[in-house]
């Protein structure tokens, strides 16, 4: 009888342990957020606060150019949320019914700036200076896939200098690569978001583009239709809009729409 009781207790304990492991596995969720690389610093800080408040949810970021991320999602790459640096890339996913209608919002804005290496060896002071013969290379993001590159092209066209700078352009996969090219002195100047320039002590901002010379730089975020983690995705979606989170974005130079 004693032996049977012992066997019963052991079996019961095993069942409890297996159930606990199963419950723990189900409660731990990993969200994948495809986000514009210009959001990297604030999102890494926001991640720490969110995971402290929701310890059962882990965040994994896929940073890149908004156009490339949009293409990945359109082609079926796994993602739970998309945080874009351009409305047109976001609208493509809405048209494809890949963004949930009830969970998408635009609340951040940014500015476009002309940057140069800290020592500014070629003495660039404005967008107009880029047409001078002394300026060899200028970097912008690839306009088709990097919103900042698209905005830069719009500025050059608005200023009437596109045809004079086009042959000097060094295209980059995202704004951080543009920043790197300028930091290392591989180009005389580059065009990035103000928030990116703020991350480096190796570059100087020479001019801010007039907002009338380019499309509005707006950051929409939304939950991907068909996400397997809808509840967790909604929690992070709402967390992004809380006042303490907004302060993190503002600290990193973003404007609140």
19 is in an annotated binding site: no
Which tokens is 27 given?
């409660």
On whether 175 is known to bind a ligand per the annotation, the reply is yes
Give the separation between CA 33 and CA 157, rounded to whole angstroms: 34
Q: Is 243 one of the annotated binding-site residues?
A: no
For helices 40-53 and 243-251, the axis angle rounded to 10 degrees is 150
Is 148 labelled as part of a ligand binding site? yes
Q: What separation, in Å, do the N-terminal and C-terminal C-alpha atoms of the chain show?
A: 73
DSSP E strand boundaries for the chain? 29-36, 57-64, 81-83, 99-109, 112-117, 138-141, 169-172, 189-193, 203-208, 218-224, 255-256
Of the candidates 82, 75, 59, 41, the one whose C-alpha atom is nearest the C-alpha of residue 254 is 41
Q: State yes or no: 86 annotated in a binding site.
A: no
Beta strands at 81-83 and 218-224: parallel, antiparallel or unpaired: antiparallel
CA angle 137, 40, 68 (to 5 degrees): 65
Q: Which residue has the tokens 């703020």?
A: 198
Cβ-proximal residues to 150 (8 Å cutoff; 6+ apart), any chain: 86, 141, 143, 144, 215
Which residues participate in the annotated binding site? 38, 66, 148, 175, 193
Which residues participate in the annotated binding site for molybdate? 38, 66, 148, 175, 193
């Amino acid at each position: 009888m004693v032996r049977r009781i012992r066997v019963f207790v052991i079996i019961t304990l095993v069942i409890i342990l297996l159930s606990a492991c199963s419950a723990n596995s189900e409660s731990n969720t990993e969200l994948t957020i495809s986000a514009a690389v210009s959001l990297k610093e604030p999102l890494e800080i926001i991640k720490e606060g969110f995971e402290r408040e929701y310890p059962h949810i882990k965040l994994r970021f896929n940073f890149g150019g908004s156009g490339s991320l949009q293409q990945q999602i359109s082609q079926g790459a796994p993602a739970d949320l998309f945080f874009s640096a351009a409305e047109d890339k976001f609208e493509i996913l809405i048209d494809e019914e890949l963004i949930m209608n009830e969970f998408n919002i635009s609340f951040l804005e940014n500015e476009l700036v002309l940057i140069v290496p800290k020592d500014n060896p070629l003495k660039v002071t404005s967008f107009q200076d880029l047409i001078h013969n002394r300026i060899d290379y200028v970097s912008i993001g690839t306009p088709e896939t990097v919103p900042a590159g698209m905005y830069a092209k719009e500025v050059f066209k608005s200023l009437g200098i596109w045809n004079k700078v086009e042959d000097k352009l060094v295209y980059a996969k995202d704004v951080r690569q543009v920043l790197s090219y300028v930091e290392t002195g591989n180009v005389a100047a580059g065009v990035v978001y103000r928030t990116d320039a703020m991350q480096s002590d190796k570059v100087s901002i020479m001019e801010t583009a007039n907002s009338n010379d380019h499309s509005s730089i707006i950051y929409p975020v939304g939950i991907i239709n068909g996400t397997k983690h809808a509840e967790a995705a909604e929690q992070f979606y709402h967390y992004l809009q809380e006042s303490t989170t907004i302060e993190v974005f503002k600290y990193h130079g973003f404007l609140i729409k």
